Amino acid sequence: MEKIFDCLINSFIEDKVGIAENFLSIPLAAHLKENLIALFENKKLLNAGIGNNAVINQDKLIRSDVIYWLDRKHNNQYENDFFDLMDEFVIYLNRTCYTGITGYEFHYTLYEAGTFYKKHIDQFQNNGSRQYSMVMYLNAGWKAEDGGELRIYHTDDEQNISPDNGKSVFFKSSDLAHEVLLTNTPRMSITGWLKIG
């Protein structure tokens, strides 16, 4: 995995946006997708909010995805496999880049056809603990006409990233505004943040 970790970190250093294909293995991505679909079918996914608990706001004109938080307490084999991978990545990131990450939080994310998330920044105004944003995609066979790209706003241009299966995207939570463009087919991922404090 160190080669894939290096790819993610080096592309982040070069362009402020790290991208690594196959960060999630095909089997793990498939199992996590199965979990997400089962949670959705059992009505466990909740409307995502804007802001943290102190300023929660659910505005469908800004954001229309549904989510479910991952937790080791669920004792789900594949969630725990994912957490083991993230533990390995955080140790490697701290060792090679001295980032001081002490924790993380991740949720399943589902955008149904016709949904989106308008331009935003991931760090709360009243809490700076989120240091890096990470997304891992669960969309096998994604096509350009499916839409749903992650658009990242750099100072001088825009970057569109397709949500291909197993791909990870990594960037500083406080630095880059971004949005999820309108998706034309269900779009699934695990989304979260590496944190300090």
Q: What DSSP letter does each residue of 25-72 carry, written as one string?
A: -HHHHHHHHHHHHHHHHTT--EE--BS-GGG-B--TTTB--EEEE--G
User: Strands 187-195 and 103-111, how do they pair?
Assistant: antiparallel
Which residue has 């406080």 as its token pair?
174
**Tens of pLDDT along 12-66?**
999 999 999 999 999 999 999 999 999 999 999 988 654 444 434 555 556 778 9
Residue 146: Cβ-neighbour burial (10 angstroms; 0-12, 13-18, 19+)? middle
**pLDDT, mean over the chain:** 90
Q: Taking residues 7-11, what's their average pLDDT? A: 97
Query: Is 60 exceeded by the pLDDT of residue 124?
Result: no
pLDDT digits (tens, 9 = 90+) for 159-172: 999 999 999 999 99
Give pTM, 2 decimals.
0.90
Q: Which residue would you say has higher pLDDT here, 67 or 57? A: 67
CA atoms within 13 A on the CB side of 187: 29
Task: Please tell me the distance from the alpha carbon of residue 119 to that of residue 174, in angstroms, as a whole number.
Answer: 13
Helices and strands, number each (H, E), in the chain: 3, 11
The predicted pLDDT at position 147 comes to 97
Rounded-to-integer distance, Cα 74 and Cα 110, Å: 19
pLDDT > 90: what percent of the chain? 80
The per-residue pLDDT for 52 is 45
Find the Cα–Cα–Cα–Cα dihedral 28, 34, 39, 43, rounded to 10°: 150
- The 10s digit of each residue's pLDDT in 144-162 is 999 999 999 999 999 999 9
CA angle, 123 then 161 then 126, to 5°:
5
pLDDT at 127: 61
